[in-house]
A and B are shown apart, each in its own frame.
Chain A
Amino acid sequence: MNDSKKGSKFSVTSSLLITLSAVLIVISMFFPWWKMVFYAPQYPEGLNIIVYPNKLKGEIDIINGLNHYIGMSNFSEKNFPELSYLIYIIGGLAGLTLLTAILRMKKVLYGLIGIIALVGVTGILDLHFALQRYGTNLSSKAPIKIDPFVPPIIGENTVANFITHSMLGTGIYFVIAAFILLLIPLWKDRVR
């Protein structure tokens, strides 16, 4: 192996780390990525909206039933077209990651990191705009009138008698772990 090649290829250990990263991305698809818990005096146990890459879970019907009092439109999988294709994007990223591990080329790794960062930022913006859409598009005929609001992606918010807690789900932690695993080779195989 000559020097120039050594500079552009990374080590087997790094390849293994990237393989593990691909595995974590795949695993993340089976866990919720984000959730919002609604607490009220009558709901000390909390009502959940749990977002998976491909579905919504939790007490969606109950939340929708209550939301009509403030004129908010219904949460449903139908209203989130992202849920129909997000899983393929994630699958694609896992595939790319695995390919990177096989190719062991630094340039490809840089590209991959860039793509994942881009997809991540897009996802966060998408969620933010969705929350904004729900919180600000309130029906003018609602029995209870409240000021428009935008729930945060992470953190607490108060709406009428509800306090909402938004938080990241297990899936996203797997993705973050996967992303960290991709960064480690950059440091480990840095040119000394």
Chain B
Amino acid sequence: MKKWIPIASGLLAGFVAATISFADFSTKTNTEAASSTKSNAEKVYVPFGEKDDYYLFASGGHSGQMFIYGVPSMRKIRTIPVFSQDSATGYGFDEHSKKLMGGYTWGDLHHPAFSETKGDYDGKWMFATDVGNSRAAVVDLKTFTTKDIIKVPNTAGPHCAAFVTENTEYMFLPTRFAVPLGQKYESLDDYSAKYRGVMSAVTFDEKNVKLNIGYQVALPPWSYDLSDAGKKGSADWAVMTTYNTEESTTTMEINASQADRDYIVLFNWKELEKMVKEGKYEEVDGQKMIFPEKQKGGIYLVPVAKSPHGVDVTPDGKYFIASGKLAPAMTVFSFEKAFKAVENKDFAGERNGIPILNYESVMEREVNPENALGPLHTQFDDKGMAYTTMFISSEIVKWDPKTGKTLDRVPVQYSPGHSVSAEGDTVAPDGKWLIALNKIAKDTYLSVGPSHPESMQLIDISGKMKVIMSAPVDPEPHYAQMIKADKIKTINVYPKDTKNKDAVYKQSETKIVRKGNEVHVYGIAMRSRFIFDAKSKRPDVIEVNQGDHVFIHLTNIDFDEDITHGFAINSYDLNMEVQPGQTNTMEFTADKAGTFPLYCTNFCSALHQEMNGYFLVKPKN
């Protein structure tokens, strides 16, 4: 008698059942990158059911927004409102985002920058700056929504930001425009004495999702253009380009282009941090301000061909490459040589109290691809090769930073400002793709009149560079970052927050509470109705008196991915959204008496059209 047969068969039955119930057969693979045997169309085609390999985060410039694209399909996926109002999402209308906006209605979103861990994108946060109204913002990549914005004092137009240090210790905001401290009135005749180009070291408190200013540096009144943090051996350092070291105050097109040399500011942020800890700063406007001419150390100038734009650190952290903008050449500088020059005090004098390093001692090589004009910005591939945009000669030039040799070049249409390669400014770029962010599209797309969209051209860099796709984009990407899609972990619905006193998750707990002339509505939105007070004869009606201060707290109790509801009050200029599981608040004064339909603005269900009610305002006698 084989005793084990029945025992084994019993166990087997259990295991088979478990396998049937728990096995997961659902994983789907992404399209893998360009293989040279594919046609251009096949390389960018992402069939339905599959997803792109990369997310592209493009700054939206003076739209104040950020644009999200998929790569290689170049399909636009999302607009994230950051510095400008957006009625599609109610951004700038609901209480949280209205407060974040700080009374401003637009912004000029320049350089998006991912949070980093060990010099690589960690996919958690995205930072951005506003040149228009001097702000900095952080976007949560779990929800692709803006979580915090700060106004940065003493500075006006943080253009050459944001760039983050290797472990997101700081995000630096140098300024494009010099202004007097506190942005007080000062005559332009006193420009050199009274104006400053203040750089801010912004910190991010990840736990409380709050931006803060660690300290500021009162740099000379020059314009700061672009910047990059060091990597690996140069991780404690950062570099940024300057122009208008002439300190001209008018017609800068001419006057800021006179000197043969401008500078790269090279600074050690660890040292500056130490100085602040030791009290080597002055209090200005509530900020800890370092004045480089008084609190010496940590900041140096490196002479560079005039009016440089980009300065980019190689993935190995050994070199920084400055691009000449008005000069035809790129200059490769060595961090190692710079450190030696600092150590040996190998200075060629001082400007505005800051030591100037000897150009010859720091320069590694000058690179001058034939007939290439207007180098602006450099990105890297997985082999450490450099790709520089040439604004004036409208092309991308691939070259080897170790030899200076030109390897490849491809024309783009037209006038590329920046470019972005896959994770191209990290310690480990991916190669594969590069996107040229072109300022002029002109004849590329169907005409829409005298002005055209900008264009983003996808370039396959896995072999010989080849433009394989062009996608129009609204004004105006200045800079972009491209991240491997699997690094981003979004949530499907907002989790229940039982500590949120504004949230209501049960229909029966909805209520309208009056406190003097304040009316608080604790309501829910669900497919396909609003309930503001379950016990009321008409649960979807809010009735107030003219002049009442109204708070509408609305929770979307459809915990179901993509079932977003909107909430608008007709003729009250109000609209907001509640994403699945989210609670949002709208606050306003009911100053207009009358009858105002309220309705769901975000199409949610077959009976979306029935998802409405009334906001009744009783007139004051």
A interface residue numbers (CB < 8 A to B):
13, 16-17, 20-21, 24, 27, 31-32, 59, 61-62, 65-66, 69, 143, 169-170, 172-174, 176-178, 180-181, 184, 188
Contacts and interface: CB of A to CB of B under 8 A. Distances in A.
A66 B606 CA distance: 11
Nearest to B505: A61
A176 B13 contact: yes
B527 A174 contact: no
Nearest to A16: B7
B9 A170 contact: no
Interface string B1-23: 10100110111011011101110
A180 B20 CA distance: 19
Question: For the complex, would chain A's binding face be called helix, strand, loop or mixed by DSSP majority?
Answer: helix
Question: For the complex, would chain B's binding face be called helix, strand, loop or mixed by DSSP majority?
Answer: helix
Given A20-B7, A62-B559, A181-B7, 12 more contacts: A17-B10, A31-B21, A59-B560, A61-B557, A61-B559, A69-B606, A69-B607, A173-B16, A174-B17, A177-B11, A177-B17, A181-B6
Contact of B14 (A27, A61, A66): A27
Interface string B549-565: 00000000111100000
Interface string B535-560: 00000000000000000000001111
B526 interface: yes
Contact of B10 (A66, A169, A181): A181
A143 B611 CA distance: 13
A172 B558 CA distance: 32
Interface of B: 1, 3, 6-7, 9-11, 13-14, 16-18, 20-22, 526-527, 557-560, 606-607
Nearest to B493: A62
B10 A180 contact: yes
- Residue from A17, A65, A169, A174 whose CB has the most chain B CB atoms within 10 Å: A65
A177 B10 contact: yes
B13 A180 contact: yes
B559 A170 contact: no
Contacts of B527: 65-66, 69
A24 B14 contact: yes
Contacts of B17: 170, 172-174, 177
Given A17-B6, A143-B607, A177 B14 contact: yes
Contact of A184 (B6, B13, B21): B6
10 contacts: A24-B14, A27-B14, A31-B18, A59-B560, A62-B560, A65-B557, A170-B18, A173-B14, A180-B6, A188-B1
Contacts of B22: 170
A173 B13 contact: yes
A171 B16 CA distance: 12
A37 to B, nearest CB: 12
Contact of A17 (B7, B13, B20): B7
A13 B558 contact: no
B54 to A, nearest CB: 24
Contact of A177 (B13, B606, B607): B13
A65 B11 CA distance: 40
Contact of A65 (B14, B20, B558): B558
B533 to A, nearest CB: 19
A112 to B, nearest CB: 16
A32 B559 contact: no
A46 to B, nearest CB: 10
B10 A13 contact: no
Contacts of B14: 24, 27, 170, 173-174, 177
A32 B20 CA distance: 12
Contacts of A184: 6
- Residue from B17, B20, B22, B559 whose CB has the most chain A CB atoms within 10 Å: B17
A180 B9 contact: yes
A57 to B, nearest CB: 12
Contacts of A170: 14, 17-18, 20-22
Contacts of A32: 21
A147 B11 CA distance: 43
A53 B398 CA distance: 66
Nearest to A180: B10
Contacts of A59: 560
A69 B606 CA distance: 10
B560 A65 contact: yes
Contacts of A172: 17
A176 B607 CA distance: 45
Contacts of B11: 177
